[in-house]
Amino acid sequence: MDLVDRRQSRFSSDSANQPVPCLKLATNTLLFDYMNDDMDINCGTVLDGSETLDQLGDRIFKRILAVASGDLTLSEQHGFGECEFVPWQTGAQM
């Protein structure tokens, strides 16, 4: 039995395979605020003192589980999922 989510597997018959989702983590709040439409998680909260490193790690882990369970990353929500890093290419290469 082959269970494949909406992103499909590289071995599926779908020729429009999307790459693995990419969570984007901003290292500081200034960067997160500047690129808030493209950054999934603000890691600057530790430097700002509003969150501990353990709390941030827990938040990142929960987000990874959510995306692995089918939630969309911000890039995917904006339709940029097909333009992410692709570790393999299908079809003819130029």
pLDDT band at 21 (very low <50, low <70, confident <90, very high): confident
Total domains in the fold of the chain: 1
**Residue 17 is assigned to a structural domain of this protein:** no
**Residue 74 is assigned to a structural domain of this protein:** yes
**Residue 32 is assigned to a structural domain of this protein:** yes
**Residue 47 is assigned to a structural domain of this protein:** yes
Range of the domain at 78: 25-83
d(CA 31, CA 36): 8
Read off the pLDDT of residues 53-87 as tens digits, 9 standing for 90 and up. 999 999 999 999 999 999 988 888 887 656 555 66
pLDDT band at 17 (very low <50, low <70, confident <90, very high): low
Contact 28, 47 (CB under 8 A): yes
pTM listed for this prediction: 0.67
Name the CA dihedral angle for 13, 14, 19, 23, rounded to a multiple of 10 degrees.
-110
**Residue 12 is assigned to a structural domain of this protein:** no
**Residue 75 is assigned to a structural domain of this protein:** yes
